[in-house]
Structure 1
Amino acid sequence: MSTDAANDPMHEVLRRWQTAFDSHRADLMADLFTPDALFQGFGPETISGRDAVRGYYEAVPDYRRAHLGDVHGYRIGEQVAGGFADVTFRDPTGWEAPVHLSLVLQYEDGSWRIRQYHASRIVADH
């Protein structure tokens, strides 16, 4: 198995995720997830399923953008992959939220989809 960025599922999924996020396409975002995906974003509750994911991204302001940093991926066989990415969400008002993004990916219906998504905000003190 190749682990270079061109063939790594994490890189591939995150490229599609960033494109959909930056263009504020909630339907494209939802399609990146498995039908029963678990999702923990900035909200206080974990949500599940594509419809909930779609609703989450519909509520994100359309001027917000995601900037990808380091991406580290792994594979477990042919059907499961995952990893971590540094992402900074920004908008023109100066708002910024750096996060560690953790994904578990599942290969289904000919493409990689997000099975589990967890965003953890990075804070300077804790």
Structure 2
Amino acid sequence: MDRWKAAVDAHAPQEVAACFTEDAIFQGLHPYSVGRAGVAEYYASQPLGLTAEYEVLETREPAEDVLVGYLGVDFSFVDRPTISVNLSVVLRRLDGEWFISHYQVSKLD
């Protein structure tokens, strides 16, 4: 998740997308997509100056090379209030590196 955060903070949509599996299911705050292209498109549409601060709240390891994570994330902007969300992710280890294969955001009110 540190690679994801660094790419989000750098406004580097292709680098964000590279944190995901080729067939990742991605649900941000807009309609969902499948695959890295949708992730890159989503983050390319985000405003410059967007940053993410996260805290891992829970993790589980349901199988070898698979992690489920539940995080609290604050997305901060230059010109508007911070958005706080819950983020559920499924991570898969492929060739020794972790990738996000499922990403689901729920906005907190």
In which range does the TM-score fall when normalised by the shorter chain? over 0.9
Name the structure 1 match of 2:65. 79
Task: Name which of 35, 38, 57 aligns with 2:22.
Answer: 35
Q: Report the CA distance between 1:118 and its aligned residue.
A: 0.4
Q: Report the CA distance between 1:17 and its aligned residue.
A: 1.0
Task: Name which of 39, 58, 74 aligns with 1:88.
Answer: 74
Secondary structure at the residue paired with 2:64? coil
| C-alpha distance after superposition, 1:5-38 (max 9, x if no partner) | xxxxxxxxx1111111101111110111000000
The structure number with the bigger radius of gyration is 1
CA distance in 1, matches of 2:43, 2:20: 12
TM-score by length of 2: 0.93
Task: Name which of 70, 84, 89 aligns with 1:98.
Answer: 84
**Percent same amino acid among aligned pairs?**
33
More strand by percentage:
2
| C-alpha distance after superposition, 1:54-102 (max 9, x if no partner) | 1111111121111113432121232211110000111121321100000
Q: What RMSD over aligned residues (CA atoms) do the two structures have, in Å?
A: 1.2
Unmatched segments (≥5 aa) in structure 1: 1-13
Code of the residue aligned with 2:87 in structure 1: it is: L
Task: Name which of 15, 19, 38 aligns with 2:2.
Answer: 15
For these two proteins, the number of residue pairs brought into alignment is 109
The 5 Å alignment of 1:26-65 reads: 26-43=13-30, 45-65=31-51
Moved over 3 A (4+): none
